[in-house]
A and B are shown apart, each in its own frame.
Chain A
């Protein structure tokens, strides 16, 4: 029995429109001049701690082969990018993207005093905190809170998922999580849901009940806006069949239909490869690369690639030396990928990991991940990164 069966007050469906309080400007009334060109950011999270050294392989370094006797990728299999580093053969789909100049690889991104717990390290990456600091808001959430010119809509940040990641939660504003715009639209058009949003001024204080109603109203208007804007768009591109590619296809639909969202968040999980890594990681990297390649080409064909920046991160890399189970254990610094049609520095951004100068068996970080965030906040989202990251981080010149 679904909820509709217990609701008998169907009269409410027809009874009046939504009451939208003054402190929430109706989306429908936004001036057209605000619909200028939108720069989009897509964040791709690889959960579980992707092994960066078997993703971008330092085939030019003997130490790599010494430390990874049974799981190293042979030099002849590597997709060589220069004479030191190359891609895992399962990432063949990205070669074309790389050759087009749409991809930048940043080596050794991390933070001081790294934490090897998945949960804690993901927390640090999502909140942008120091490793001994606990923040209850995410870095994108604080961007939403900053009330900047570019982030005033309740649908400024969308996560293509059932639930919302901490990265997307601010103090006063939060992103919206949805896997299927049509389903969310249906739910917010449920007669009961609509009945709850009847003209009722009592609820519009800034207290907790007001907050609940505000969230409902925003969800409802965002759902309508997202559904009505994106439903007309039909992608002509074909995507591989995987959950990950589906998420990207949804993002592409949103971007290409001109949704005024700034930040999209998707994730792919399963990278915690302690045991028999080669097959598992290879399979995931293949899904990742094929999905990304289809996505980027789709954006290109819709003239959106120049307005889109995609970053990929994982909560940590893995130890340089393999373990006894043909896998790898939790490590520290890792590579990040940046994609887009307007990259300032294409290809490999900085020096390959130094495998002879390790911190008790782990890579030392060259760049703080908040420098990458800071660069994006400053140069792509047009806010001052110190306002979001609580201190100023030097920017990089990849964009």
Chain B
């Protein structure tokens, strides 16, 4: 294999398995055998470094206060203020958590673990007003990102964020709530068409009593659990939640469903059934070892075949993280990262619904593409942005409260604001070899093969910095 060939493969690997790679690292890595590079990538991601932003103690205190206020009918003015204060604090901390996650992706030295966390973040899609719950779920997804899918599934299912989001708090003996049981099978494991309505009904009974208590810890409430006999996929027994998960994992359809989703996220929007089958079989035989499936994928020849290189549309998170990582960007007002995520259609921790973000071409419409093409000059050249975007539906109460009688509707229309970010150009330029030409930089920054138009466009470029801004503003940069 030629050195150039390996260079491109490693670059592809790091674009898909991580969030890109610096030129200097790429040069070093591509001297190694590709299997070694994959091993390295997995080894770097052994480290699990959770987000510890949200204070456990303070969150528990808030939960108790909230529970107390919730049970009261008439609140004093003092109590109302207290409740509002908690909501305000939670909103603020939720924003900080969002920034912590995206910043972690930008700075991580365990790129595959963070990329997988992003994958599970979309797979086990969840919204929680409580930032402690949201952080906990994010940490579960990170800790188990490359481990056992079974452990991941059980921990997610027992997390207060998910129990709340899918109404399992209301799932009680005699009054089952089927929401969790349905999404468990439809979206988390088997996929539509691989179970019956009866399977949902019966398994919902098994999950009765799976709840979280006043201070936000999982608790199995025996007295609310339906201990009766259930029939699930033809099996009869006094199944509890864990038994249901075991039966679901015995079905190869689960491995196929996850493998397909992994393939579409890491390889290609258009599924190749043979490759998916290969992955699924490996996943099933390895007893749902996620890391092992990832290694299998990254060491398969087809992962590097031309139809899979430079052909995927970056998600907004991949786009923002990749750009920020490449150029060592510091955001002086990190809230702008939330505004950008929201305008581009991927507001982390706020998926559109439990099915997650649909991805692929749905990321792109006229306005999101125009914005993507402007962002590099905004971020890297400190340009201004006149984009106010839409309010998130969950923020409506805040908007309603903040609006006085005189402000007009859509008061969220802000004047132009600066992104206020700094790229570390010296550091970026330092990673490049001496004498690198603008054309070579272009080849490095873009994943799709260069065509005559781009080659001509950059051929008379002088500076690397202006070339970089230009290249990252191209439609080709939207692909990885």
Contact = CB atoms under 8 A, between A and B. Distances in A.
B409 A284 contact: yes
Nearest to B476: A209
A177 B366 contact: yes
A166 interface: yes
A174 interface: yes
B405 to A, nearest CB: 5
A3 B353 contact: no
17 contacts: A6-B377, A117-B127, A119-B394, A123-B353, A136-B355, A162-B387, A174-B365, A196-B475, A208-B360, A209-B448, A211-B313, A243-B408, A244-B409, A272-B397, A280-B403, A283-B403, A325-B75
Top 10 closest pairs, chain A to chain B, by CB: A243-B410, A48-B396, A136-B358, A272-B396, A118-B393, A134-B355, A219-B366, A177-B367, A3-B377, A242-B408
Interface string A279-294: 1100110011000000
Nearest to A1: B381
Given A1-B382, A208-B313, A324-B74, A270 B403 contact: yes
Interface size class of B (residues with CB under 8 A): 35 or more
Nearest to B477: A212
A209 B475 contact: yes
Interface string B376-411: 010001111011111111101101110101001111
Interface string A1-24: 111011111001000000000000
Q: Report which residue of B80, B364, B365 has the largest number of chain A beta carbons within 10 angstroms of its beta carbon.
A: B365
Interface of B: 73-75, 80, 84, 127, 182, 187, 269, 311-313, 343, 345, 350, 352-355, 358, 360-362, 364-370, 373-374, 377, 381-384, 386-394, 396-397, 399-401, 403, 405, 408-413, 448, 451-453, 457, 460, 466, 469-470, 473-476, 478-479
A43 interface: no
A52 B310 CA distance: 50
A244 B409 CA distance: 6
B389 A118 contact: no
A161 B396 CA distance: 17
Q: Report which residue of B373, B400, B412, B474 has the largest number of chain A beta carbons within 10 angstroms of its beta carbon.
A: B400
A364 to B, nearest CB: 20
A317 interface: no
A117 B393 CA distance: 9
A162 B343 contact: yes
A2 B478 contact: no
Interface in A107-127: 117-120, 122-123
Contact of A169 (B354, B362, B394): B362
B393 A324 contact: no
Given A271-B400, A274-B397, A324-B75, A212 B475 contact: yes
B400 A272 contact: yes
Contact of B469 (A6, A117, A241): A6
Nearest to B269: A208
A147 interface: no
Nearest to B384: A2
A178 B367 contact: yes
Contact of B396 (A174, A195, A208, A269): A269
A296 B396 CA distance: 27
B475 A216 contact: yes
Given A123-B353, A209-B475, A244 B410 contact: yes
